[in-house]
Every structure is written in C-alpha cells, then in structure tokens.
Amino acid sequence: MTAIIEVKDLWKVYGKDAVDVDVEDEDLITEFDESEDTVVAIRGISFEVHRGEVFVVMGLSGSGKSTLIRSILRLIDPSSGSIVVDGEDVTQLDRDGLVQFRRDHVAMVFQHYGLLPHRTVLQNVAFGLKLKGIPQKERLDRAMTAIERVGLKGWENYYPSSLSGGMRQRVGIARAVVMDSPILLMDEPFSGLDPLIRREMQDELIRLQEEMHKTIFFVTHDLDEAMRLGDRMAVMKNGDIVQMGHPSEILANPADEYVARFVHDKREQLRMADAKNCPVSEEVISDVS
C-alpha cells in the first residue's frame, strides 16, 4: 500500500534547555528524563500511514499522542526527525510553504470544536474556503453541500451557541470536509460528548469515510472507539510506540504488560460474551444428569 504520511525517527523535547538537542546522546536524554524542567514527549518514533486508511493512535494522557498529531500539522515543531506528507517534508517548510501545506493537504478536527461564535454554521464551514480565495458563490455552495453531508441541513443560519455538542462537532467535521483535503487529522474529536452522541458521531464518520475515502489520522484514549474506527492502531506510552497493528491483533496479542492492561477490560468483556453465548455441549449435559 502507498504511504501518504511517513514519520522517521521523530523526537520532541520540551524545556528551556531543549534547543538543538542531540538525540543520539543517551546520557543527555536520560538527564532530560530525570529533570523537572524538561519533558521528552516523543522519542524516536517511526511509522507510515497508508493512503485511504483510518490510522488510530491511542494512549493514556501524557503518552505523546496529541504532541504527535500537532507535529504532523507543524503546530508544534519537532526537535529532530522528519515528517513526509504526500512526498513533502513538512519539517523543512518555511512560513509560506507551511500555510500552503495546511490549506491544501490536511484539515484538522479539534476536540473543542474551535468554531467562531460570531459566525453562523454556514459561515463557519465556508471560512477556510474564504481564506483560500474561493469566490463567494462557490464557497457557499460547497459549504452547504458539506453541511447536508453531515446531517445539518436547516441549521446553516444558526450560531454555535444554539447547537448541542454533537451538532457543533458535526460543524467541525463539515468545516474539515469542505476543504477537500486528502488527509483529516482528528484529535480526540468525540471525547467530550455523551456516550450516545459519541456513538452517533462514530457512525457518521464511518459513513463519511465510505463516501470520501480520505486518509484519517485519529487520536483517542478510548479502546472501543479505536477498535470500531481503526484499520490500524498504534499504542503509545511515554512518547514511544509500543505496539502497532490491526486493533483485533493488538486485542488478541498485547505486546507487553502496558498494552495488556489497556485491553484487559475489552478482552474480559468478549470472554464473558462468548461464555454466555456458547451452547452447552451434550457431554456436559450428560455429566450433569
């Protein structure tokens, strides 16, 4: 399969002393780990995301997953390594190149919506197209199509304050979809929603993906969500990827104790479901009688 995102030996160190870090200096990295003034958020990870797949990154708070997704968009500058998106090394882009990259290659859906409160749903969805210089009629037509696609037809003239959390997130998704970027970056977009609404939004994303066939880089801390949405999954711990593969493979064969704890409840849930649905054999019936 063709890789559309290639991350190679990526590091990110936060702290006042984390300038021009020599990541090959193991003693220095150990010193950073032991210091209260620095944080090694990502430590030398490498992976590829295939074109058209839903790639899920999950881990506990502080595992580095949000730093990773923000690094791909260059909202955070990595300390070392490369991020190649559709053949272009994002880490080498200047200011103008970075603006063009964000407009043409990727669209981001944030956890807290990021809607403009003084603009209507239609204006919010069309805003990115306005920044690209798309003529008004075209951008409004495209925005309405995106609004209908996410099930918000009839709400285009309302303001964000009039919408529920789930509806606001639909606006956020429509705003990303309307840009027609090949890659969607989604940073825990459903984590603040009630369970029922969260399930509906997952259904909506699955439906949209069947129509659009985008490459989706999805960050979550929820295993059920990861298993439901992901074609592949990477589990992060302390800035490193400890296991990567199909969600069902990770569930069946956790690589270490950390991953095993992550999937324990789900494995137990499936075991109990299997036990409940397993028919009683004739041998067992004979033994009982």
Q: Report domain extents, the chain.
A: 3-105+183-274, 116-180
**pLDDT above 80 for 206:** yes
| Euclidean distance between CA atoms 277 and 279, whole angstroms | 6
Asked if the model's pLDDT at residue 142 lies above 90, the reply is: yes
Region 142-165: mean pLDDT is 93
- pLDDT at position 279 is 56
Give tens-digit pLDDT for 230-266: 999 999 999 999 999 999 899 889 999 989 988 887 7
| CATH fold of 3-105+183-274 | Rossmann fold (3.40.50)
- Grade residue 214 by pLDDT with cuts at 50, 70 and 90: very high
Percent of the chain surpassing pLDDT 70: 94
Decide which of 23 and 7 is more confident: 7
How many angstroms separate the most distant Cα atoms in the chain?
80
218: left (phi over 0), alpha (psi -120 to 50) or beta: beta
Per-residue pLDDT reduced to its tens digit, 104-116: 899 998 877 778 9
